[in-house]
Structure formats: C-alpha cells, structure tokens
Amino acid sequence: MHIVGARPNFMKAAAVWRVLADLGLDQVIVHTGQHYDPNMSDVFFEQLGMPRPEVNLEVGSGTHAQQTALIMMRFEEVVRDRPTDLVMVYGDVNSTVAAALVCAKLGVPVAHVEAGLRSFDRTMPEEINRLLTDQLADLLFTPSEDGNRNLAREGVHASKIYLVGNVMIDTLVRLLDKARPPSSIDSDGEFALVTLHRPSNVDDAETLRRIFATFEALSKSLRIIFPVHPRTRKRMHDLGLRARDPNRFQLLEPIGYLEFLALQRRARVVITDSGGIQEETTFLGIPCLTLRDNTERPVTVELGTNELIGRDMNLLCTSVQKILAGQWKKGRIPPLWDGHASERIADVILAWGV
Ligand code: UD1
C-alpha cells in the first residue's frame, strides 16, 4: 500500500509502483488529500502514468495537528479494513509521518522511501517528520550515503537500512523525453526558473517582500518564470505583490510535472526552496540557488550544482551574475542516481518477504 498526499510524493511513488506492478504484486494507492487542487495533484497521476488512488482520505488543509490527526484517524480505518503486508511512505510531508505512526501502532510493517535525510533544523516541519518516520519504519531506503550515516548516528539498526539511490530520478529518467514546456509561455531565450513555498520564506511579510523585490530587480537582466504554489499565491495576494512587468517576471499557476521538467532543463538558473528541485537540477547539471540556510540534501552542494543562498539577497544577485558569466561549478551526478533505485527497492522488498 502506497501512501501519497503532497505533490513531491507522486513522482517517487510512481517509480516504485511501476516496478512492483511489473512484478505482479497487488498494490493499493491511498491519497490522503493533503494536496487537493487539480494542478497540485490530478495532473501528476495523468502524467506519471500511475493509476488514480483507490482511496482518498480527503483531509485537505489545516494546522499541522489537524492535518496529521485527520490523516491518522481516517487512515487507521483503511489499514484495519485491508490486511496489508507492507505500507510504503515517501519523503517528509505530514502524510508520511501520520501514516507511519498509524502503522507502527497497528503492527503493520512500514517502509520509508527517502530515509535518513537531515537538515538538522528542527524549526522545519519536514525535519520533525523525517526524524519520527525513520524511528518508526521497518525498512529504510536511503538516497545517498549521508542518509546511512545519519540513521546510524540515531541508533537505527543497520539491518533495516538499504542504500538504493534516488527514486525521483527514476521518474525523471523515464519521462525526460516526454517533457514539454507549457504552451502558454515562450520558453525560448534565457530565463531563471523560480519556485518558493517554505513557510520560512513566504509566511513572514518582510521576508517575502524583500525576496519579491529582488526578483523584480533581477528580472530586468534575466527573465523570470515563476509557477506559484497556492500557499505563496495567498501570501502574495494578501500583501498586494504583483509583477510590474509581466513579460519579464512571469507568474504562473502551478504547472504539471512534464512542463516543469522541460523548464528546468532549459533554465539558465533555478532559484528554489524546494527539496526535490535541488536534486533534479543536480541530475540535469543546471545551476541551482537554494533560498535556505541548510539542506537535508548536502550531496547536491558537495557533488552537484547547488549552492545555499539563505536569505542573502546580495549573494543571490552575485551568484546569478556568476552563472550568467559562465563561472558556475559543473557538478557531478551522485552515485546510484541512475534511474534504477526502484528496482533495488523491489529486490529488497521481495527478499524481505512480501
Ligand atoms: C507541503 C509539505 C512540504 C512540501 C510541499 C510541496 C508538509 C509539512 N509540507 O507543504 O514539505 O515541500 O507540500 O508542495 O507536509 N493549498 C492549496 N491547495 C492544495 C494544497 C495546499 O490551496 O492543493 C494551500 C492551502 O492554503 C494550505 C497551504 O497551501 O493551507 C499549505 O499546504 P500544506 O499541505 O499544509 O503544505 P505545503 O506548504 O504545500
């Protein structure tokens, strides 16, 4: 049984679902409903070639406690009703920890895909979700060596940990040829691709205003394309933030997986606070500037094309200039980010006894 809830879960679950389907295993997809807008959820199932979820818990938005509690209450009934050999949870969103906690209490085995990542910043809700999920899981699949080290340090027994690589890259490798830019925008010429949704960047009015003003200034020399997350759109609307020149600073609704992948590939630079995009740009060799003080994906900085910018808007501007001048590191693809991570997961699961 695969648990998905928020946008970054879908491309990971799709990769594992596909390999297990080829092996003929009975699978159920449960959507918690954490993300519910069609362009945050439905479009991904279509594009990723994954069946619609059989169950949707329809929990929607709320405070962290409300969202987590509602998922737990509704999910408990689902697992009780269906004898399940293994529940797969993905990443670090509220749906991940809520499902893992329900399973642990019911004695249903749980596998965590993307285990072991740590930002060491407990003000991030995702860090709490990662720490707890990894304590609860029976099988832990890590994307990189640092994940194994973090888990060992936290006392997770080595027999539960498997370094398999990055399942999100499996989906990227499979669909790269199908990637196409959104028809609504001109994707020729140079541009920066921007995403922003972390509470630490968008919830504080002053911070968001300062970031937005920097994008306005940057857009005079490099066109900006910015698909806006619903959370960010609400905050921008409340603060009356609008692009002065919509041809240079293009604000879009959230876009599908294939459209976003095509834009990443063509971008001169990607500016983001996402986790997954740090990884995708590293794989694609596109410079990435991350608007955070830390990352749970250090391999993208050590080996890849990513640099941490924090909220230092001067550093953001000088880094963009460096990239435009062709002075950015080239980066390397981390080990096991090869499109076959899900197959390694399937091998472990079969040997484990599903
Ligand atoms: C969640 C994840 C985050 C992940 C992100 C990807 C947690 C703690 N956070 O953050 O790790 O990077 O998804 O997008 O699980 N909203 C809509 N429509 C939707 C979904 C959300 O309008 O379909 C709005 C609502 O106002 C909601 C807000 O966005 O309150 C935040 O949604 P939520 O699921 O709480 O967290 P994200 O910020 O999306």
Asked if 229 is an active-site residue, the reply is no
pLDDT of 354 higher than 90? no
Q: What is the pLDDT of residues 159-210, one digit of tens each?
A: 999 999 999 999 999 999 999 999 988 888 999 999 999 999 999 999 999 9
pLDDT for res 62: 97
pLDDT for res 353: 87
Percent of the chain surpassing pLDDT 70 = 100
pLDDT for res 305: 98
Q: What is the mean pLDDT of the chain?
A: 97
pLDDT of 283 higher than 90? yes
333 confidence band (pLDDT: 50, 70, 90): very high
pLDDT for res 186: 87
Q: Can you point out the beta strands (E) in 38-190?
A: 55-56, 87-90, 110-113, 139-142, 161-163
Q: What is the pLDDT of residues 111-123, one digit of tens each?
A: 999 999 999 999 9
Average pLDDT over residues 98-120: 98
Alpha-carbon span 85 to 68, nearest angstrom: 23
Alpha-carbon span 54 to 43, nearest angstrom: 16
CA–CA–CA angle 262, 95, 342 (5° rounding) = 55
Record the tokens describing residue 349, joined without a space. Answer: 């699961």
User: Of all atoms in ligand 1, which is nearest to the CA of residue 274?
Assistant: 12
* Given 2, 112, 197, 229, the catalytic residue: 197
pLDDT of 313 higher than 90? yes
Alpha-carbon span 305 to 109, nearest angstrom: 37
Q: Is 333 in the pocket of ligand 1 (CB under 6 A)?
A: no
Q: Is 7 in the pocket of ligand 1 (CB under 6 A)?
A: yes
Nearest residue CA, atom 15 of ligand 1?
93
Q: Is 292 in the pocket of ligand 1 (CB under 6 A)?
A: no
pLDDT for res 187: 84
Nearest to 193 by CA among 255, 126, 119: 255
